[in-house]
Homo-oligomer: A and B are copies of this chain.
Amino acid sequence: MSKIGIVFGAKSFEHEISIVSGIALKKVLDDELIYIFVDKNREFFLIPTNKINSKLFSSGEYKKFDKLHINNGGFYKTALFGDKKIDVDFILNVTHGGDGEDGVLASLFEFFGIPFIGPRVEACVVSCNKNFTKNYALSCGVKTLPSSHFTKNDKVKIEGFPCIIKPVRLGSSIGVSIVKSQEELSYALDVAFEFDNEIIVEPFINNVKEYNLAGAKANGEFIFSIVEEPKKEEFLDFDKKYLDFTRTERVNEAILTDELVLKLRENFSKIYNHTFDGSLIRCDFFVIDGEVYLNEINPIPGSMGNYLFDDFKGTIKALSKSLPKKQVINITYDYVNKIQAAKGK
């Protein structure tokens, strides 16, 4: 049994999703969970596990609990006579969206030398920017749908309808629209540009087969989840997906040929290696005419995708024991000394 610091909340459009997702973990992990809430002002609070409830946050009541700060080696409670370190074995980053998935919190953990499960900085950047995801997939040998990329003041030319318009940087379908005709375009663009200065436009393929596969790598071996075929009514909007984040019950496995499962796993592995070391991610794929296309990478899936794994607890445990080590950097001051010598100082 580990002491797991659950970091959640933060300054993010998915702040609330993260609260729900974090709380859901209480039902599926037997470990000692230490809840560290990042509020919208980016202040840290220690929330007692036996009292945690989503209402604490909407009401602002969380502020009555201990404030924490981050420093070398971990989180600390400020005390009159010296700081008291919060005892955790590692952090599990369940901060969806901003701060959590854009590399900011990952950087904090790296900088302060705090072991954590979650995407590292590079992994965040390639997964939270849909344009970069496509470039990255391409360079890994993984296919994606063709797309066009526009910035706020560009003239947006659409190749054909229906198409799907997505802000470049947000997850959870926020700001995403399916556009069926020229008349619907302008409103959809307004919505998308409300959330980002950049958008991508992709063809919308009705009834496209969509499969989600989560996984992690521990000791050089992949642990894969089952393949899920997400239910959809055309596509899930924010509200519908949101309710999904509370999920803890197992879903039904998609019935697929062994060959397709293998193909999905191969594509997952190409994406994961080695940029996503240290994290449990979900890749959402499209399958069109037997070919696999990456739709998106969820570097911190809702409730960590617990409902997709045969042994979620075991997966977290194995992953926590296989976190990437930082390279040792020797700083010798040889060069500074050389310059001083060269300058005759």
Contact = CB atoms under 8 A, between A and B. Distances in A.
19 contacts: A11-B331, A15-B331, A41-B72, A42-B72, A42-B111, A42-B112, A42-B113, A54-B336, A55-B336, A69-B71, A102-B121, A103-B103, A103-B107, A106-B107, A107-B108, A131-B139, A135-B135, A151-B273, A243-B339
Nearest to A138: B135
B111 A58 contact: no
A9 to B, nearest CB: 9
A72 B336 CA distance: 33
Interface in A242-271: 242-243, 246
Contact of A72 (B43, B105, B149, B246): B43
Contacts of A121: 102-104, 107, 121, 124-125
A132 B103 CA distance: 16
Task: Give the interface SS of chain A, mostly helix, strand, loop or mixed.
Answer: helix
Nearest to A56: B336
Interface in A116-137: 121-122, 124-126, 129, 131-132, 135-136
Nearest to A111: B104
A3 interface: no
Contacts of A40: 329, 331
Contact of A243 (B113, B135, B198, B342): B342
Most buried by B among A16, A340, A342: A16
A98 interface: yes
Contact of A329 (B11, B71, B197, B242): B11
Contact of A333 (B58, B69, B129): B58
A278 to B, nearest CB: 14
A336 B58 contact: yes
A321 interface: no
Interface of A: 11-13, 15-17, 19-20, 40-43, 54-55, 57-58, 69, 71-72, 98-99, 102-108, 110-113, 121-122, 124-126, 129, 131-132, 135-136, 138-139, 149, 151, 197-198, 239, 242-243, 246, 273-274, 329, 331, 333-340, 342, 345
A41 B111 CA distance: 9
A336 B274 contact: no
Nearest to A55: B340
Contact of A135 (B16, B108, B139): B139
A336 B103 contact: no
Nearest to A342: B243
Contacts of A11: 329, 331
Contacts of A242: 335, 339
